[in-house]
Amino acid sequence: MNNLKHIVLEETNEVLVVCTSAITAMGIGSIVKQYYPGYTAKIISEKYYHETVRKLSSDGADHPSSGL
């Protein structure tokens, strides 16, 4: 599942995942549980992803992950 854009927020134990397919969205929770045990999956839009990346970059945070 390397094609899913995502951002890992370690301070809140959340993984923000870009998803545009209802079928894929149904499996996001399981994928996040497999790769990030103890984290909560949040489905986000492409627009929100870019806004968040810009905000995190300007805050000096580490760069987000590009694939899950």
User: For residue 7, with 0-12 CB atoms within 10 Å meaning exposed, 13-18 middle and 19 or more buried, which class applies?
Assistant: buried
pLDDT band, residue 59 (cuts 50/70/90): confident
- Asked if residue 29 has pLDDT above 50, the reply is yes
Give the pLDDT of residue 2: 65
26 found inside a domain: yes
**Average pLDDT of the chain to the nearest whole number:** 88
Q: How many domains does the chain have?
A: 1
The whole-model pTM stands at 0.81
Within a domain: residue 38? yes
Give the alpha-carbon dihedral of 15, 12, 62, 53, to 10 degrees: 60
Query: 39-50, pLDDT tens digit by residue?
Result: 999 999 999 999
In-domain check, residue 56: no
14 in a domain, yes or no?
A: yes
* Structural domain boundaries, residue 12: 6-46
